[in-house]
Amino acid sequence: MLTRKQHELLTFIQLRLEESGISPSFEEMKEALDLKSKSGVHRLISALEERGFIRRLPNRARALEVIREPETSVTRKPKSNPLPAAVNDAASSASVVLGGKTSKPAAPANDVIELPLHGRIAAGAPIEALEGASTLPVPAALLGSGEHYALEVSGDSMVEAGILDGDYALVRRTDTARDGEIVVALVRGEEATLKYLRREKGMIRLDPANAAYDPQFYRSDEVQVQGKLAGLLRRYH
């Protein structure tokens, strides 16, 4: 059983594929479902994928294919006008479209997500994590489920982990992490750093990936996990 929003999104994706052979962008899906942010679209896409209604085609940036038609009922009654008029009109024949065969297979398009870019983060001694209004375009295939943001890496203390000065760290928001994971750690409420997280004798140890740097030790109440490294983006000039 799908929720109303999941059903609406699945119908919208299928209708767009039938009409143009191109899957809608995340911005189009957000507007069609009247969502406040693209993170809501991410959650719906992940839920549909987990339930076996859609799949992401390999070697493409978030190319979507509908592999199973939606149920005829949903868990909540739809609002009087949940989708734009054009989508509502087309949705009236969705059961025929989804159940029938098409003359040619749909070819979903690549998608790019604009992640919030929150300044620079240290990969050496902690520096202030700057908040900003900038965004960074990122291929959606680099991201998994959840909410993400980006930080520009400054320093060389994580080079042995393949993280270089000037890279963009793609971070999934979370406030928990296991030992050995690379995290964004906010130190004493004002400085952020990218390090391996480990717990040792009641202390938090932030380990670099560079033999030239020493581990940093803090009390547990001095360190707040703000995310885990999900990927890297590197630009060549």
pLDDT in tens, 158-214: 999 999 988 989 999 999 999 999 999 989 887 889 999 999 989 999 999 999 999
| Cα radius of gyration rounded to whole Å, the chain | 21
Mean pLDDT, the chain, rounded, equals: 75
Would you say residue 74 has pLDDT above 50? no
225 compared with 191, residue with greater pLDDT: 225
Residue 132's alpha-carbon distances to 120, 136, 189, in angstroms, are: 10, 11, 17
Count Cβ atoms within 10 A of the Cβ of residue 183 and give its class: 0-12 exposed, 13-18 middle, 19 or more buried.
buried
β-partners of residue 217 are 205
Give residue 71's pLDDT.
57
Structure tokens at 237: 């000039």
Q: Report the 3 state secondary structure along the chain.
A: CECHHHHHHHHHHHHHHHHHCCCCCHHHHHHHCCCCCHHHHHHHHHHHHHCCCEEECCCCCCCEEECCCCCCCECCCCCCCCCCHHHHHHHCCHHHHHHCCCCCCCCCCCCEEEEEEEEEEECCCCEECCCCCEEEEEEHHHCCCCCEEEEEEECCCCHHHCCCCCCEEEEECCCCCCCCCEEEEEECCCEEEEEEEEEECCEEEEECCCCCCCCEEEEHHHEEEEEEEEEEECCCC
Of 77, 195, 201, 220, the active-site residue reads 195
Give residue 112's pLDDT.
77
Q: What is the pLDDT of residues 126-162, one digit of tens each?
A: 545 555 558 888 877 777 788 888 888 888 889 999 9
Percent of the chain having pLDDT more than 90?
A: 22
Give residue 133's pLDDT.
57
Please say if 38 is a catalytic residue. no
Would you say residue 84 has pLDDT above 50? no
1: confidence class by pLDDT, cuts 50, 70, 90: low
71 compared with 74, residue with greater pLDDT: 71
67 compared with 225, residue with greater pLDDT: 225
Give residue 177's pLDDT.
92
Structure tokens at 130: 């700057």
Please check whether residue 167 is in contact with residue 232, taking contact to mean a CB–CB distance below 8 angstroms.
yes
Alpha-carbon span 176 to 126, nearest angstrom? 20
Please say if 20 is a catalytic residue. no
Of 23, 25, 154, 157, the active-site residue reads 157
Other Cβ atoms less than 10 A from the Cβ of 220: the count is 10
